[in-house]
Homo-oligomer: A and B are copies of this chain.
Amino acid sequence: MLEINNAFNSDHNHDHCVSGALNNAKAICKENGQRLTPIRELVLRLVWGSHKPLGAYELLPALAEAGFNSAPPTVYRALDFLHQLGLIHKIGSLNAFVGCSNPEHPHPSAFMICTECKTAAEIETSELQTSFNRVANTHGFQLEEENIELLGLCSDCRGNES
């Protein structure tokens, strides 16, 4: 069935999200012979500060506070590194990044994004995949990557409408 992370559940234990993400990151880096350096780990923690996608420049102040150089290339390098390992996703329409809920299994970027509270909840796409593959096959298109954004109001924000 369609699954999702618990981003839209405001009661969820977010510490669990963060610790899970960190554990995943360590394992995946090890598997790939890559190093989760202090900067990379901090950037990952910051991105996982919430389920709201963060822009690169929103990370710089926290990097500075932590005593690191905080010029743009620093944060973009860390973001690129995490992105290449599938530990974060980029939301194209927002120029912003959000932690991946299931990096153990590489998968396309697919989100429901609340335009009110800005929360982005990852969608499990295995069912959608059938449709996408059919579209691609029909046109001889070799599907390699996907950016799927569903924008609207999450249930919390629907309730709060004026």
Given contacts A93-B147, A146-B150, A149-B147, contact A155 B135 (CB under 8 A): no
Count of chain A residues near B, Cβ 8 A: 39
Within the assembled complex, what's the spacing in Å between the Cα atoms of A135 and B128? 9
Q: Is there an interface contact between A141 and B128, defined as CB atoms closer than 8 Å?
A: no
The yes or no answer to A134 lying at the interface (CB within 8 A) is: yes
Min Cβ gap A81→B in Å is 19
8 A Cβ contacts from A116-162 to B: 121, 123, 127-128, 131-132, 134-136, 138-155, 158
Q: Are A144 and B152 interface neighbours, CB within 8 A?
A: yes
A92 contacts partner chain B, Cβ-Cβ < 8 Å: yes
Q: A66 at the A/B interface (Cβ < 8 Å)? A: no
Listed A/B pairs (14) with beta-carbon separation below 8 Å: A4-B138, A92-B92, A92-B93, A112-B141, A112-B143, A115-B144, A128-B131, A139-B154, A141-B154, A142-B152, A144-B153, A146-B150, A147-B151, A148-B148
